[in-house]
Each structure stands twice: as structure tokens, then as C-alpha cells.
Amino acid sequence: MSLLVGYTATPAGEDALALGVRLARSRGTGVDIVLVLHSEERPTVVPTDAGYERHLSQLAAGWLREARALVPADVAAQTHLVYAHSFADGLLETAETLGSEMIVVGAARHGLLGRFTIGSVASSLLHVSHVPVALAPEGTRNGGMERPLTRITCAIGTRVGAQALLEESIKLAASGNVPLRLISLVGVDLPGGHDDPEVLRVGAAHADAAATQALATLNEDAEVTTEVASGQSIEEAVTRVDWDDDDIVLVGSSRLAQPRRLFLGSTAAKMLHELSVPMVVVPRDAATTTVGE
């Protein structure tokens, strides 16, 4: 299995490719670089120009060759030119056909605070994808593809889907042999005040229980740390946590998601607007077992 990179000949496409390569190297797998063109069978009131279609296909093939040339020799890469009614549809259909384990796309961020702005493609994927979706923030390409992942951060709460999220985080940490940090969101999920001692105690116990499960799965030399995120809001809680440039954070899908599908919930959306590190959103029952979040 490999990671599918939704590629465009834009900075956002280069960001997605850079993150995809880093994730693939960490997981010991390859990348499928997919560029989607509008379907030739799309309805239109303007007659299709066959010459223009050929020219566009040739351009797209050239963009894919350039993208493939950027991938380091130690990472296997295949390119695919796909026709579909939309970019998101093309990525989802191709991921299904190839059996991809993750879809990686660029998510630009703008403004003085450097927050994410999710485009239509990422938004569509974050509401219907059957596999985890990784979002590469603007500028990921500048760090290069050779930099290894240095830490996996899993932000877990108590809602349906947390077990799948934890298992996905453990798998990513194990495959890349990188430290795993577990951040409990119980301090934000539970009522009673963000700095209430009992809430913080419950959050710490929740994080420790997750760490015990992780250590039972990872090798004996694995590094697993825990933190409790607390604050009057999720935005305040995540900004209280220290983040490194090479962190990748995994968050769960909303409880509103259909089985084996994503739906970007309010917690993940708020985190996305506060953080500038890559984020992976995991379907609530993506793992082999499903116990609650």
C-alpha cells in the first residue's frame, strides 16, 4: 500500500508532495502522485476542442514528470493522470482503486496569524474520505523532503473514534521509529472548569491509559510522553502546548461521520485554525477495532 498525493503544479501541490514523501519514507512505503483533470465527458454548453484537450493532457503529463523527478531515489513513486468530475472525486476514486492508506493534499494558510484556509478540495475530502487525510500547511515544501519526522502527536478525547485514532498514531510512530506524544483533550471535553484539579486528574489518567496501550504495542525502546491540554476553549488549550516544526498531529473525525468516513468536527477545525504543523484527520473507525474516542 502507498500514500496518494493530490498534486497540482502549484505551491500547494509541492507542499503536499513534500509531506507525502516524508510520511512515505517514515512508513517504508511509496507514493502515488495523482493529478486530476476535469472529465472529458463533463456536460458543457461549449463544444469540446480536441486540440485543447490534447494540449492540456500533455501539460499535465509534463507536470507529473517534474513532480516525479523531485522525489528522492529511496522513495518509490508512480504518477497517475486521472479524469473525473472534480479533483476530490478523482482522488477518492483513485485511492479506492489503488488501495491507498492515506490521501495527502496541500492546505494553504494566509493572514497575519498564519492560520489554515481550507480550499474546496480539502474540504470535500475532510467530509467524505474513507481513509485518513493529511493536510500540508503552506511552506512545507521549504523544509525539503529529506527531513525525517521527529514526533507524532496524537490529540485524543473521550468520544467515539478515539481508539481508531490512537491505533493509527501508534502505527505511524512504530513504522517511523519516532517518539509518540499523547495529548489528552479530556480537560477540554469535560465540564467543570478548564483548570479544575479533578478534571486535570481525569485527563492525566486518560493520557496514562493511552500511553500504557501504546507501550504495549511499540518496541521497548520507544519514547511515549503524555500531556493534558487544558483551557477555556480548544483554541486556548492547543496554544498552551509546545509544538515543534517537525511535529505531525493526528486528530479524530467527528461523531457525525458515517461509518468508515471522515467528517471534520468542530474540535479538529478549531485546532486546524490555530496550528501551523501538518495535520492528519483519521476516520472514526479506520482501525481494525473501534472502542470509543
- pLDDT at residue 291, rounded to an integer: 27
The answer on pLDDT for 92 being more than 70 is yes
- CA 43, 12, 80, 257 dihedral sign is negative
Find the DSSP H helices in 71-196: 87-98, 120-128, 162-176, 186-189
Other CB atoms within a 10 A radius of the CB of residue 33 amount to 27
Residues of the chain with CATH 3.40.50.620: 2-143, 151-282
Q: What rounded mean pLDDT belongs to the chain?
A: 80
Closest CA to 78 of 145, 17, 37, 30: 30
- pLDDT at residue 103, rounded to an integer: 96
Give the angle 129-278-18 at the CA atoms, nearest 5°.
Answer: 90
pLDDT tens, position by position, 156-200: 876 666 788 888 899 889 888 899 999 887 766 555 545 667 767
- pLDDT at residue 201, rounded to an integer: 78
Q: Half-sphere exposure (CA, 13 Å, Cβ side) for 188?
A: 26
* Domain 151-282 is found in CATH 3.40.50.720: no
CB under 8 Å to 207, separation ≥6 — which residues? 182, 183, 184, 186, 226, 227, 228
What's the whole-model pTM score? 0.84
* Domain 2-143 is found in CATH 3.50.50.60: no
The answer on pLDDT for 258 being more than 60 is no
User: Crossing angle of helices 162-176/197-217, nearest 10°?
Assistant: 50
The answer on pLDDT for 111 being more than 50 is no
Grid cell for residue 210:
493511552
pLDDT tens, position by position, 18-41: 999 999 998 889 999 999 987 755
Share of the chain above pLDDT 90, in %: 30
pLDDT tens, position by position, 272-287: 777 888 999 888 665 4
The amino acid at 216: A
